[in-house]
Structure 1
Amino acid sequence: MIIVKVGGGEGINYDAVCDDIAQLWREGQQLIFVHGGSHRTNQVAEALGHPPQFVTSPSGYTSRLTDRATLEIFQMVYCGQINKTLVERLQRRGVNAVGLSGIDGRIWQGPRKKVIKVVENGRIRVLRSNLTGKVTQVNHSLLQNLLHAGCLPVLTPPAISFDGEAMNVDGDRAAAATAAAFRADELLILSNVPGVLRQFPDENSLISQISADQIECVSKEFAEGRMRIKLLGAREAVTSGVRRVVLGDARGRQPILRALDGLGTVIIPTQAEEAA
């Protein structure tokens, strides 16, 4: 089983992504495809007069501030435009794709954060109206039934809380939770950078391999912006039984096939985790 997560930043080559998925699907490879949509969401939010706001936690992770209006824009873009466009592209390539959000069938479920702490002008503030959460349960049986029926799940945030509220969740960590639920062989997290860079934005400074016990140090010393959350998701995956995570580049040709060949930052379990 391979879980493929493709981000929503500028420059993503979605046609090349869909070409690779179609090739692997024809070869009999089981896949689940998870996607984002941040860049397009920002554009739509600006056009609708509700520009995006981002907050940073005391531990250094950046996330979208999600009120009810933002969540509705998020759903319109992620679950509507992007999800159905990707399903159409896959159907055109002969893949019987089914597009779903994490809300549908409670595919992704977890607790909503009642409060979050953010750093603003050097001070810590507490926010209580943010509709965000974390995926802690994956509806494995529903996804497995789709796969058994010959369908490719194409998944996107948001998720559903235990209280039945839609909530924004990080797509990389949702993909990691999905990979853990299936004990996937591979989790590929592809974006518009080639992986973790030792000297951002120099793409020639790629760090080619990291073990799980090195992630915290690498994240603090080298990771910029959203790469910190990608590393957090990678650590959650490999410590939950996923054999390998690759942080790769989705801008060029054959992005999935290149990631499967190890082009990017490869993250592997520590020796103790591999032995277990």
Structure 2
Amino acid sequence: MIVVKAGGGEGLDMEAVCADLAEQVAQGEQVVLVHGGSHETNVISEKLGHPPRFVTSASGHVSRYTDRETLEIFAMVAAGRINKLLVERLQQLGVNAFGLSGLDGRLLEGKRKSMLRIVENGRRKVLRGEYSGKIERVNVGLLEVLLAAGYVPVVAPLAISYESEALNVDGDRAAAAIGSALKAQTLIILSNVPGLLRDFPDDSTLITRIPLEQAQEHLDRYAQGRMKKKLLGAIEALHDGVGQVVIADGRVAQPLRRALDGQGTVIQ
């Protein structure tokens, strides 16, 4: 069982991801694909006159401020265009892909974070009207039914609150939650860098192996920007039953095969 997160940033070769995923499925591997949508959401938001706003928490994590209008744009882009075009391409490659979001069948459920505590220009602030959350439950039975029937779930990173509100959730941590629920052997997190870099953006400083007990230290010392969430998701997944996590380059040919061969940052 492999869970793959293909990031929503610029530069990923999604054609290569789909082709390699199809190869894994042809070899009998069960795969779940979780995708992002941040870059395309940014582009569409700008065109619609509602530009994205990114904020930094007190702990240094960067995230999108998701008001209701932003949530609706994100749902349109991620659960709509991106999800369905990925399903289309996988079907063309012979994969019986099944597109859904974490809203559907309450696949991903959690508590809404209605406000954000942020640091802006050196000052602490509170932003209200937020529609994001942290995943607390995974409807693993739904995934198991789809997998047993031969489908490949393709999951957009939206969730549902306990009050049945749509939520924007972090794609890396969504993949980690799904991997944990399925007790996946491997969680592959693809990005537009080769893995965790000791001296970003110098690719030659790639850290190839991290024991789980040192992962938090590496997060604090080396992770920058979005890499913080990737390492955080990796730590959560490993603590909750995933065998190994590989943060790998999604810009290359055969990205899944390379990740499974240990090319990237392997955490276990």
Same fold, TM exceeding 0.5? Answer: yes
CA distance in 1, matches of 2:182, 2:81: 28
Amino acid paired to 2:170:
D
Q: In the TM superposition, what is the alpha-carbon distance from 1:13 to its structure 2 partner? A: 0.6
Name the SS of the counterpart of 1:115 in structure 2: strand
Output one character per residue of 1:173-207: Cα deviation in whole Å (capped at 9) or x when no partner: 01001011011100000011110000100011100
CA distance in 1, matches of 2:62, 2:11: 21
Q: In the TM superposition, what is the alpha-carbon distance from 1:142 to its structure 2 partner? A: 0.6
CA distance in 1, matches of 2:28, 2:126: 49
TM-score, L = length of structure 1: 0.96
CA distance in 2, matches of 1:261, 1:7: 20
Structure 1 unpaired stretches of 5+ = 269-276
Structure 2 unpaired stretches of 5+ = none
CA distance in 2, matches of 1:159, 1:211: 31
Amino acid paired to 1:47:
K
CA distance in 2, matches of 1:212, 1:113: 28
Q: In the TM superposition, what is the alpha-carbon distance from 1:126 to its structure 2 partner? A: 1.5
Output one character per residue of 1:188-230: Cα deviation in whole Å (capped at 9) or x when no partner: 0001111000010001110001122212221121111000010
Corresponding position of 1:135: 135
Q: In the TM superposition, what is the alpha-carbon distance from 1:128 to its structure 2 partner? A: 2.1
* 1:62 is the counterpart of 2:62: yes
Amino acid paired to 1:124:
R
Corresponding position of 1:19: 19
Q: Which has the higher strand share?
A: 2
TM-score, L = length of structure 2: 0.99
CA distance in 1, matches of 2:208, 2:177: 23
Corresponding position of 1:36: 36
Output one character per residue of 1:103-127: Cα deviation in whole Å (capped at 9) or x when no partner: 0000000111132210011111112
Corresponding position of 1:145: 145
Deviating more after overlay: 215-224 vs 200-209: 215-224
Q: In the TM superposition, what is the alpha-carbon distance from 1:84 to its structure 2 partner? A: 0.5
Identical-pair percentage: 58
CA distance in 1, matches of 2:14, 2:203: 21
Output one character per residue of 1:76-108: Cα deviation in whole Å (capped at 9) or x when no partner: 110111101100000000101010010000000
Corresponding position of 2:74: 74
Q: What is the aligned residue count?
A: 268
* 1:230 is the counterpart of 2:226: no
Corresponding position of 2:245: 245
